[in-house]
């Protein structure tokens, strides 16, 4: 039996693998800001990639190339055919290994990691701590744009890793579904002006993705600590199916990745998240703290 693929790798491990011709290193940096007026500003990270990136890394534009622009919400996962084309264009394909990183909190890298898993590609990992951890370890960076070697990516979608609004609504009273909000506690409680309708999905609990990261290093907390958090929440119970959500599916992907690191790799992401849920005024929202 083959060894399971790691969901995260260290800068030290990656540095030792730089000469591997089958390894594709991907910078998935995206910049998203939400001014006080409630608007959303999205900027691809190509400019920061060109300033400094891991040697040999290619750039992937998650918003332009890996999202479904026919969907009502930004960053909706692209259909399998579009995803396969975009992945192949940056060199991700059959027989390749992939390490994804970003230049901030890791949620953008986790987003591409989740999309790869959604399309049946398992040999992908997130660089723990991203570019900041890489540079803190004393490893070199480059400012040369890398031209990808095109590859053939074959999609085998796993629909069980994705949830729609209708599916989440239908599971509100299902005791075997655990809906987890990955946003900060204030937004979960309904105290943030980021959404026209405030609050959280009824019955959902709050595990902020930011609480799973060591603020001094930018890396995920040790696996044992993650397991304590998830076990307390019931997310490691084999009789329940965790479903993560946030504002638009990005932090939810980070939470799904952290759960996979802790041993729960079957987590589904509610891709539309609050962007989709709050757009339908018939869907309920609850304000207040986590009831646990």
Which residues have a catalytic role annotated? Answer: 246
DSSP string, the chain: -PPPPPSEE-HHHHHHTTT-TTEEEEE--EEEE--TTS--EEEESHHHHHHSB-TT-EE--TTTTSB-TTSSSTTPBPPHHHHHHHHHHTT--TT-EEEEE-SSSSHHHHHHHHHHHHTT---EEEETTHHHHHHHTT---B-SPPPP----------GGGEE-HHHHHHTTT-TTEEEEE-S-HHHHHT--TTSSS-SB-TT-EE--GGGGB-TTTSSBPPHHHHHHHHHHHTTT-TTSEEEEE-SSSHHHHHHHHHHHHTT----EEESSHHHHHTT-TTS--B-SS---
């Amino acid at each position: 039996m083959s060894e399971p693929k790691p969901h995260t790798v260290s800068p030290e491990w990656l540095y030792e693998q730089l000469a591997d011709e089958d390894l594709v290193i991907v910078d998935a940096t995206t910049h998203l800001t939400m001014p006080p007026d409630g608007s959303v500003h999205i900027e691809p990270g190509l400019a920061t990639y060109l300033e400094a990136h891991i040697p040999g890394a290619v750039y992937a534009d998650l918003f332009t190339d890996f999202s479904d622009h026919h969907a009502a919400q930004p960053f909706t996962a692209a259909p399998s055919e579009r995803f396969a084309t975009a992945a192949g264009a940056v060199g991700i394909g059959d027989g390749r290994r992939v390490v994804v990183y970003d230049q901030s909190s890791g949620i953008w890298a986790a987003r591409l990691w989740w999309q790869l898993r959604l399309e049946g590609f398992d040999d992908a990992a997130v660089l723990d701590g991203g570019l900041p951890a890489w540079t803190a370890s004393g490893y070199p960076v480059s400012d040369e744009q890398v031209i990808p070697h095109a590859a053939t990516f074959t999609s085998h979608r796993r629909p069980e890793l994705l949830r729609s609004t209708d599916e989440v609504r239908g599971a509100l009273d299902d005791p075997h579904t655990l809906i987890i909000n990955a946003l900060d506690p204030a937004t979960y409680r309904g105290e943030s002006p980021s959404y026209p309708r405030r609050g959280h999905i009824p019955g959902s609990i709050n595990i902020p993705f930011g609480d799973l990261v060591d603020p001094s290093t930018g890396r995920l907390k040790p696996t044992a600590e993650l397991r304590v958090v998830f076990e307390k929440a019931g997310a490691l119970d084999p009789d329940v199916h965790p479903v993560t959500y946030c504002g638009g599916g990005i932090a939810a992907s980070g939470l799904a990745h952290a759960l996979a690191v802790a041993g729960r790799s079957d987590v589904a992401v509610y891709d539309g998240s609050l962007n989709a849920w709050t757009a339908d005024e018939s869907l309920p929202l609850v304000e207040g703290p986590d009831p646990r």
